[in-house]
Amino acid sequence: MTEPGAASGAPAPVFILVGPQMGENIGACARVMGNFAISQLRLAAPRDGWPNPAAQAMAAGSPVLDNAQVFDDFEAAVADCHTLYATTARPRGMVKPVLTARQAMARARSELEAGMRVGVLFGAEKSGLPNAAVTRASAIVTLPVDPDFASLNLAMACGVMAHEWRAGDPAPDMFEPLADRAGAAEMEGLYAHLQDELERAGFFYPPEKTPLMMQNLINGFARGGLTSQEVRTLRGVIKALTLGRGKARIVRED
């Protein structure tokens, strides 16, 4: 398991495979990323562990594979990312912009130029991305597959995105990325803080609805993004609102 590393070479998105199953696909992703000069591959909890000889065989000597970083889980793999794009074909019932590959990569270009770290998320072969990952993305990317034959190979999805990155449109003039954008780890801190206090307040009712209600709340924050300052402010807001409630005996003794 490795720490999120510094970008090598010119800034490009980081491709993050979430729970990939077959080494062959991981290797083919690394190969096509090398073809289109995207150097940073991350693996969140690859099914068959790491290293994987099948990946090596399919990578055709791509330097991307040797530099791949492996993480225990999704959260660790995205911790330093400022924006995430979730590739998924399935509608998720989330209020979230749906972009073409081209639009997403043009937005990513703006964000990278503004110094942000951009992750593109790819789900496992069978199951796709978990809802928790899609929820944390600022946008969904959907490729225009035929609904009658929609099963796109994982490496092919990486290849299409990689080509769009390399061949794609320049950054749109009008897009103004957030300065000082909060990274995923800061956002997770906010979500955990919020959930904790809302549970204490009996907000989640019935309790089994907690995951869905949190998903909707997180979607709202993830969509537009927050600056680090805004995250700090919001956490101050939560703290202020909860003063004098429940655990606050200590506070009242102040």
CB distance 82 to 76 below 8 Å: no
If one asks whether residue 124 binds its own copies (CB under 8 A), the answer comes out as no
CA–CA separation, 55 and 125 (whole Å)? 15
User: Phi and psi at residue 43, in whole multiples of 5°?
Assistant: -120, 120
Residues 60-99 as x/- pattern, contact with its own copies by CB under 8 A: xxxx------------------------------------
Residue 224's CB is within 10 A of a number of other CB atoms, namely 10
Q: For the chain, how big is the Rg over CA atoms in Å? A: 19
Stretch that binds its own copies, among 43-51, 137-145, 177-185, 204-212 (CB under 8 A): 137-145
- Nearest approach, Cβ of 32 to its own copies (angstroms)? 5
Size of the site for its own copies (CB under 8 A): 30
CA–CA separation, 123 and 154 (whole Å)? 8
CA–CA separation, 35 and 159 (whole Å)? 9
Stretch that binds its own copies, among 43-51, 57-65, 72-80, 182-190 (CB under 8 A): 57-65
- Nearest approach, Cβ of 46 to its own copies (angstroms)? 21
The amino acid at 5: G
Out of 12, 19, 31, 135, the only residue in the binding site for its own copies (CB under 8 A) is 31
SS3 of residue 167 by DSSP: helix
- Nearest approach, Cβ of 19 to its own copies (angstroms)? 20
CB distance 182 to 231 below 8 Å: yes
Query: Edge to edge, what strands does the sheet with 69-71 contain?
Result: 69-71, 41-44, 14-18, 118-122, 83-87, 139-141, 98-99
Out of 54, 98, 114, 152, the only residue in the binding site for its own copies (CB under 8 A) is 152
Out of 100, 131, 227, 228, the only residue in the binding site for its own copies (CB under 8 A) is 100
The residue (of 7 and 251) whose beta carbon lies closer to its own copies is 7
CA–CA separation, 120 and 237 (whole Å)? 31
If one asks whether residue 55 binds its own copies (CB under 8 A), the answer comes out as no
Tokens 């019932």 correspond to what residue? 93
If one asks whether residue 32 binds its own copies (CB under 8 A), the answer comes out as yes
- Nearest approach, Cβ of 58 to its own copies (angstroms)? 9
The residue (of 132 and 152) whose beta carbon lies closer to its own copies is 152
- Give the footprint of its own copies on this chain (CB under 8 A): 28, 31-32, 34-37, 60-63, 100-102, 143-146, 149-153, 155-156, 159-160, 163, 166-167
